[in-house]
Amino acid sequence: MRQEFGFEDPTFSVETAIRMLQSQMSFLGMMGLEGEISEFTVYRGVNWYFTIKDFENVKVTLRCAMFQKHTKGSPKPSLGDRVLLKGEFKLKRGNIQFVVSKVQKMESRGSHEVRLEQLKQQLLAEGIFSEDRKRPLPRFPRRVGIVTSKESAALQDVLKVLKQRIPSAVPVVSDTTTEGAHAAPDIRRAIERLQLEGECDVIIVTRGGGSRESLMGFNDESVIRAIADCDVPVVCAIGHETDYTLSEMAADLRASTPTKAAQEVATISEEEIGDRLMRLRLRLQTMMLMRLRHQRDILEHIQIKAPQHLIEGQRQRLLYIRQRILRSMAHRFESNRQQVLSLATQLEAVSPQHILNKGFAVALHNEKAITTSKQVQVGDRLVIQLAEGTIEVQVVSPTKDMPTEIQLSLFD
């Protein structure tokens, strides 16, 4: 016993206090509870861990456990179900837990779940959750807005990823409470503040995991509409794997964790950009070298085909053609000469001159050859054509039986 604050209070160790609490709880024994399922997890397929909340005061919750020997054959509850539980209170690692041996579903669902479903259907009808209105995230954001608590681990996760992947991007934090339904106005104002003052390219709305009650602010209509009406793309990462909040459904992209949200915003890191640029530069260098080699080959080909080379080639070709023509002409000339000589020999053999050269002569009267004595009369003057020269004679007698007597008279 210690005397403090002016009077005496009993003081116990933690272990003693827990033992005393357990002994008091044992007096309660088995009892029945009713409430609404707000969280539900199945561990290794057999054990159930869930949270129930009070029908009237949703802030009052209790953690429950139901183990394999009782879950087998028992109806499995769902989020939002109203249930009757039979069990007893236990202390586990200093935490109060209601160990359930029997569960029974009640007919009606919780009022909160009914209102949430009604709001969901209303927003669906308005097209707030339509995939057609989802916008792509910017590939290289310069300013990234972050709506969360400055004291949260979620903020540190996002900042760490952004610093690693896009250190040049400026994070703009809009501080807000994120716990419970009363946080909705703060969250809405934080989003609107970034739109007015942040000049952001993209906004991340995030917090860590929690119970359904702690996430109620993200199911508020004002927050959902603020996200849907945002001027820039919004990524939501509320950190609740098994059940989406309506804010996540309204966002342009939903991420499972704050870290994943930052990775979606920084899809391509600056290091990856640098690697890509390096690969592009190497490709460009390779292409330029190939282009230069190609152009060099063209230039070498052009040099071979330059005018002086073309002229020289044509000159050589002309010389060759000229020689062929000369040889052809010489051959043709010799052939023609031989043909002419042959014809001349043939002509000479049949020419009158050849006959004259043999001692024969031709008598002409009035430039016509005389072939019979009947063609002339006595006294006609004839021209005798000899092999060399001519003589002029006069017909004495044309009688055949007597030799012709002629008067020789030479002339040119």
Give 355's strand partners: none
**List of domains in the chain:** 2-109 (2.40.50.140), 114-268 (3.40.50.2300), 357-411 (no CATH)
**What size, in residues, is the chain?**
412
Sign of CA dihedral 32, 33, 37, 42: negative
Amino acid 189: pLDDT: 94
Phi-psi group of 124: left, alpha or beta (phi > 0 → left; psi -120 to 50 → alpha; rest → beta): alpha
pTM of the model: 0.50
CB of 30 closer than 8 Å to CB of 15: no
The C-alpha R_g of the chain, in whole angstroms, comes to: 64
Amino acid 9: pLDDT: 63
Using CA atoms, how far apart are residues 36 and 285, in angstroms rounded to an integer?
67
Residue type, 103: V
CB of 50 closer than 8 Å to CB of 64: yes
Amino acid 305: pLDDT: 58
Amino acid 50: pLDDT: 92
Using CA atoms, how far apart are residues 88 and 31, in angstroms rounded to an integer?
6
Q: What is the mean pLDDT of each run of 10 residues along the chain (412 residues)?
A: 53 72 75 86 89 79 90 84 87 83 76 78 90 90 93 92 89 89 89 89 88 81 92 86 80 91 84 77 86 81 64 84 89 87 78 74 81 81 81 75 47 46
Amino acid 306: pLDDT: 60
